[in-house]
């Protein structure tokens, strides 16, 4: 699966609420299978960077990880305080 297909397969919710949100998607497409997967560590550092800009607590962050043969996708969804 190419990672752009992943984005396109997402459903939008029907409600359009004016909320403050931040979404970060990191897709790592590996040429070979035996390469290291550094997304879990990267996830922690990305959150640390975001915390410099906005105050977020752990329960405001939804993390999804999707892996297959040659692509790892990390998705961070943050609902920001208004």
For binding to a second copy (CB under 8 A), which residues are involved?
Answer: 2-5, 7-8, 10-12, 16, 18-32, 35, 38, 41-42, 45-46, 49-50, 52-53, 70, 82
Min dist CB 21 to a second copy, Å, is 4
- For a second copy, which is the closer residue by CB, 49 or 58? 49
Min dist CB 59 to a second copy, Å, is 19
Are 67 and 73 a contacting pair, CB within 8 Å? yes
72 burial via Cβ count (<10 Å: 0-12, 13-18, 19+): buried
């Amino acid at each position: 699966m190419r990672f752009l297909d992943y984005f396109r397969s997402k459903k939008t919710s029907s409600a359009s609420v004016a909320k403050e949100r931040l979404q970060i998607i990191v897709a790592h497409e590996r040429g070979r299978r035996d390469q290291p997967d550094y997304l879990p560590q990267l996830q922690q550092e990305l959150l640390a960077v975001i915390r410099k800009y906005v105050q977020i607590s752990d329960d405001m962050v939804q993390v999804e990880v999707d892996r297959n043969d040659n692509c790892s996708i990390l998705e961070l969804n943050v609902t920001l305080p208004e």
